[in-house]
Structure 1
Amino acid sequence: MQKYLPLFPLNLVVYPMEALNLHIFEPRYRTLINECLDNGTTFGIPAFINGKLPGFGTEVKVTALSKKYEDGRMDIKTEGIRVFRILDFQNPMALKPYAGGLLEMLPMPEVRPFVMVGLVERVKTLYRFIDEENTFDVNKPQPYSYQIAHKIGLTLEEEYQLLKMPTEAERQGYLIQNLERIINTLQEIERTKERISMNGHFKNLDPLNF
């Protein structure tokens, strides 16, 4: 399915069903958001990475206007809907101050998909290492991969690669690979800390026989 939407490029990745708070201050985007509020329409947030629009993003809806300032700035709550791929980008849109584009809308994400046990266990291991509470819920409607993607140490580029993947199984497999790398790095750091802590202590060493 194709759809034409106004676009608000940002240096971040937004996932379907993700809640995102935004502070809107640029006049062109204040216009965009006011139109969305007045008409109940949506807009797209394409990822802007290394000075470029690589092509994928997420359609979002405004769920609440939290605060509007006297100068027109506003704080809004939004929620991701579905992933898109840009087919044609226009900056600005015809007769508008902001960008827009013709988009290929990708399938809606699975609701409460199967979660790989290996992924859940690796997330638990990571959070034990960093001594943080693991509050992720495999029973939430939002796919587990999208729940954890921002919170396991991925780079922006890696988060973007995840956004492009069409199935939850593919995304979970990708995250398992990345978590293996991250956990191995943390384990090596712990081993290095242990070796360092031994230096300066009295050691009882057996003499070597030559």
Structure 2
Amino acid sequence: MHVPDGFINAPVSVAAGVVAAAAVAVSLRGARRELDERTAPLAGLVAAFIFAVQMLNFPVAAGTSGHLLGGALAAILVGPYTGVLCVSVVLLMQGILFADGGLTALGVNVTVMGVVTVVVAYAIFRGLLGILPPTRRSVTAAAFVGALLSVPAAAAAFTAVYAIGGTTDVPIGKVITAMVGVHLLIGIGEAAITAATVGAVIAVRPDLVHGARGLTAPLKLRVAGELVDAP
């Protein structure tokens, strides 16, 4: 889904850049409330993990391949504001180091793959947690659904951008059919990776998972044969 240079015209690319810059600015302020001395290192690890896993592609239909976008994973593990920052940094580094997405299209890529995926995934995730039982399995299931739907949502957002500022002659109907159809399948891989990773972290350190903080039981210590809350 990385948009190359010249695929979207200059006015729309500039507008998307403004949207992306505003989202990053808001996220910088919001991340201060999400991160502390325990979770700040996790944000760096999440960004590094997304960067590495995005290098790995898995096959989907019609000879195409897909890879993790990471918005849902980042939002659930470290929070939506920090999640936008993590994905934005990954996209910036990929554009600079590997020309994976054009630098003039960085605003489009951040808006579509960073902002849209995080917002959609986290909204669905929180909505499902509001109706599911308060268990760790519910967190993993909600993460799966949020990640699954965030990918075609990003594809639809890109199609909207293309409809406004696309520079090729491909009909919009073919673009939305190809993008949303293929990315529905990619969403399955995204959901599986996200759910597996969230589930693994919850199993070891549930206190570090932003999306599971309300479900984390207090740490207990055995004192004189009795369990008491840790200070």
Q: Which structure has the highest strand share of the two?
A: 1
Shorter-normalised TM range:
under 0.3
The TM-score, its normalising length taken from structure 2, stands at 0.25
The TM-score, its normalising length taken from structure 1, stands at 0.27
